[in-house]
Amino acid sequence: MAESVEAIDEYTVRIKTPAPDALFLTMLGSGWSIIPAKYYREVGPEGFRKHPVGTGPFMFKEWVRGDHLTVVANPNYWRKGYPLVEKVTFKPIPDSSTRVAALQTGQIDVATRLTAEEAQSLMGDPDIRIIRYVKDRPCYLSYNNVSTGIGTPIIDRRVRLAIQYAIEVQAIIDAIFNGYGQRATGFVTPANVGYDNADPFPYDPEKARELLAEAGYAGGFKIDMAVPDQAYVHINEVSEAVVGYLADVGIEVNPIVSEPTSHWSRLKEKTLAPIHIGCWGGFAPEAFMRLKASCGKGEVWSTWQDETLFDMILETSSIIDFDKRMERYAEIQRYMREDPPFAYLHLDEAFEAVNSRVAGYEPFPNEEYHLWNVGIREEE
């Protein structure tokens, strides 16, 4: 994104871009960092990954792979008087019920990615606060037209539209998530600048059967679908529901459930099944990076290549006029509903449980955690 970066003085940096870039400041604030050049040259990329140094409120202390990551307060943080705590430890606890138990026994202060049932079970506890919000993370079926999907029915847009119409998303939300969630209208979410607020696809199995017949699959077909085991809340149950709905219109889906790291490795290698289920989280507030990363040529996580769509997305970053850029986003989303690279399912409602001694903790829709102003209440 930049041709050069030059330090002018202690507080000024001059950045030159190869062309006008409407999204540059957004991306600068979302994903760029200042790091110490001398240290980076000394330790190299691998050394920096093992012990990063930056300008944030906390400093890296240690990472024990698979057990915990610990950061400590930066005494030279630019916001005077912050952060408010001396140390933060991030601990992966894969099983959500175990996270709940760890919170109740005081082993942890914040438990994330809980089910609605787990959150409800904690609501009467005076020592625990429940936070609920809609994630910037659509769940969807993704298609692979770069390897395993070539020559399969999913190459035909009518088949992909049939799959969308065949799935009763609201019933999935009601039955699996106790009604907590929203139907996704596309790959862009309400938390993104560029969201076009369109209506979601209706549930219409008859239309699905008609489209399959038009495409030459009146008798249905068989196809594989990859599932990252328990990678997201109730993702296995959602996958089972999808298999059932598609069977109703004649599509026999073979679910291939695998450990998440293995699943994502194959996703990067572009070798996942013709259909795979996922939930995409974004870090930038505007839709561009989500669209580019999911549908861009040569992108790590993209398994769908459409030159027309790719060009439309890429050109967006050069549209300086805000209103015209919003029109382009609407055009892209219409295209992605008419010739869909995904079947759009739902947006999760996130539930987190927080020890009441924690003050100032508020998560973001993109599930980033900004803890510089989070503190601990003094005991009365």
Q: What is the CATH number of the domain that holds 161?
A: 3.10.105.10
pLDDT over 90 at 368, yes or no = no
In a domain? residue 328: yes
Residues 73 and 139 in one domain: no
Query: Is 51 found in the same domain as 166?
Result: no
Whether pLDDT at 263 is above 90: yes
* One domain for residues 157 and 302: yes
> What is the rounded average pLDDT of the residues 237-259?
98
| pLDDT score at 250 | 98
- Retrieve residue 60's tokens: 């890296």
Q: Residue range 174-183: average pLDDT?
A: 93
Give a yes or no: residue 372 inside a domain. Answer: no
DSSP single-letter state for residue 359: E
User: How confident is residue 115, by pLDDT bands cut at 50, 70 and 90?
Assistant: confident
Whole-model pTM: value is 0.82
Same domain? 173 vs 267: yes
Q: What is the mean pLDDT of residues 6-18?
A: 92
Beta bridge pairs of residue 358: 376
- Shared domain for 228 and 330, answered yes or no, is yes
Categorize the per-residue pLDDT at 42 as very low, low, confident or very high, splitting at 50, 70 and 90. very high
N-term to C-term CA, the chain: 52
Is residue 361 assigned to a domain? no
Higher local confidence (pLDDT), 20 or 211: 211
Is residue 360 assigned to a domain? no
Q: Say yes or no: 67 and 184 in one domain.
A: no
Structural domain of 260? 135-348
Is residue 23 scored above 90 in pLDDT? no
Q: What is the pLDDT of residue 378?
A: 81
Cβ-based neighbours of 207, under 8 Å, separated by 6 or more: 162, 165
280 within domain boundaries: yes
What mean pLDDT is predicted for residues 244-249?
A: 98
Same-domain check for residues 54 and 172:
no
Q: Which residues pair with 290 in a beta bridge?
A: none
198-210 pLDDT tens trace: 999 999 999 999 9
Range with the poorest average pLDDT among 25-34, 96-105, 237-246, 289-298: 25-34
Q: What pLDDT does residue 380 have?
A: 56
Q: Phi, psi at residue 344, to the nearest 5°?
A: -85, 125
Does position 124 have pLDDT exceeding 90, yes or no? no
For range 17-40, the mean pLDDT: 86
Percentage of the chain beyond pLDDT 70 is 100
Residue 310, helix vs strand vs coil? helix
pLDDT of residue 248 exceeding 90 = yes
pLDDT over threshold 70, residue 274 = yes
* Residue 67, pLDDT above cutoff 80: yes
- Structure confidence at residue 285 (pLDDT): 84
Question: Are residue 188 and residue 282 in the same domain, yes or no?
Answer: yes
Q: Are residues 72 and 203 in the same domain?
A: no
Non-local (6+) Cβ contacts of 70 within 8 A are 61, 62, 63, 87, 88, 89, 90
* Domain total of the chain: 2
Backbone angles phi, psi at 234, to 5 degrees: 60, 20
Are 340 and 230 within one domain?
Answer: yes
Say what the pLDDT of residue 170 is: 97
In this structure, is residue 89 part of a structural domain? Answer: no
Is 205 a member of any domain? yes
Query: What is the pLDDT, as a whole number, of residue 365?
Result: 85
Closest CA to 145 of 297, 331, 346, 345: 297
Rounded to the nearest integer, the mean pLDDT of the chain is 93
C-alpha span between 257 and 214 (Å, rounded)? 31
Both 48 and 183 in one domain: the answer is: no
Residues in the chain: 380
Give CA–CA dist 323/328, Å, rounded. 9
The pLDDT assigned to 135 comes to 86
Residues 159, 74 share a domain = no
Spatial separation of the C-alpha atoms in residues 259 and 291, rounded to whole Å: 26
Identify whether 225 is part of a domain.
Answer: yes
- Extract the tokens encoding 4: 């050069």
The percentage of residues in the chain with a pLDDT greater than 90, rounded to a whole number, is: 79
**Residue bearing the bigger pLDDT, 378 or 245:** 245
